[in-house]
Amino acid sequence: MSSEKQPIKVLKPFKEALEFWSVQLEKPDELNTAVPAATLEDPLKELIKLSTLIRAQTTKVGIIYAPSTIRKQTQAAHDTVAELSKTFVFYVSALAQLSPVKVSKLFLDEVVTISKDLIGSASEFADELISILESLDGQNDDKNEEAAPESVNPRLLSVGKLWSLCDKIKDFIEKGNLKFLQSKTALNISLIEDGLEEFEEWIHNPQDLDDDDFFGLDDDFSDSEAPTNVADQENPHEEADNEELVKFCEQWLKQLKLVKLLFLSINKSLPSMTTGSDIDEIYQTENKIARHVDSLVVELMMNRELNDEVTRLDGELEKECFKIIRILRSVNKSNEAKVKWCLSWEVKYKELQETK
């Protein structure tokens, strides 16, 4: 057997390459400057093919590197790792070709995250293979197998981990950009709904507006520790102020339900050819809306007044909602029904805004 075909001669460079790629993926925006990018027509489809190939090649390597087998198949041990290494080169090259403008930064970041896990697990696998080679020197095959039974062998655990990550990247890419946005939109809907029920109960019980301890903070005090009550002073404007606040909250609650409807309609309204930059803008705007809703609910329930902060948050919420509407109208300009829906939503929101 020639020395060029010794497994260790391909394993160590493979390990070094994996470590290099792991470092580069910490800055995915600069990946294509450190790694030659492929020039594929569809790099995402290629990543699916390559992840499937990595899965199959990992299986072959795992079988051949069984201590009882590897002594008899030194060349195969070399060649299978060489093939796996080459596939990873193609994988990272295809990854470097991806552009956030086309696939969205949101989607690309997740692909990179899973890929980092894949490369990290491959690096651990390479360590295990090197360890197997080193442990074979001067040892009997049967003793080595006995020391590391197949049922708990780290080599097989590494293979299983790589299988799982290959399946994960394949499934994720196949679901696509819009499906991932939908999952993120669902999270933002949940954030909006979290405070919606309690806020609605609060609005429908205006007597709670007169409760100086709405959140039950005084329950933490014993009778002897109870704060001294200040004599109530009549406020001729208090009742009118409360009525104005309740009216505002009731109208804003209707708007909030419109916002939820908008979020639910986003993915149904986006065509498959929606650009990555539009998807990113929608996602970023969704996040802002969810934060504004949360802040406005807290402001109203804590301070119970229509102050400057309420006005500011209300205006910001309107601006961000209309931004999503503008994007939906733009990407659906050839779809009259969807454009009409956007216009109707906008008109309804403005009507509620004017009645507050």
Cβ atoms < 10 Å from Cβ of 158:
22
**Which pTM was predicted?**
0.84
CATH for 7-135+153-175 is: 1.20.1420
- pLDDT (mean) for 217-240: 52
Question: Is 356 a residue whose pLDDT tops 90?
Answer: no
C-alpha–C-alpha distance, residues 342 and 324, integer Å: 10
pLDDT in tens, 312-348: 999 999 999 999 999 999 999 999 999 999 999 999 9
Mean pLDDT of 173-194: 94
CB 179 within 8 A of CB 107: no
Convert the pLDDT of each residue in 78-92 to its tens digit: 999 999 999 999 999
For residue 69, count other CB atoms closer than 10 A to its CB: 13
Domain positions in the chain are 7-135+153-175, 242-355
Q: Provide CB contacts within 8 A for 178, sequence distance 6+.
A: 267, 270, 272, 274, 279
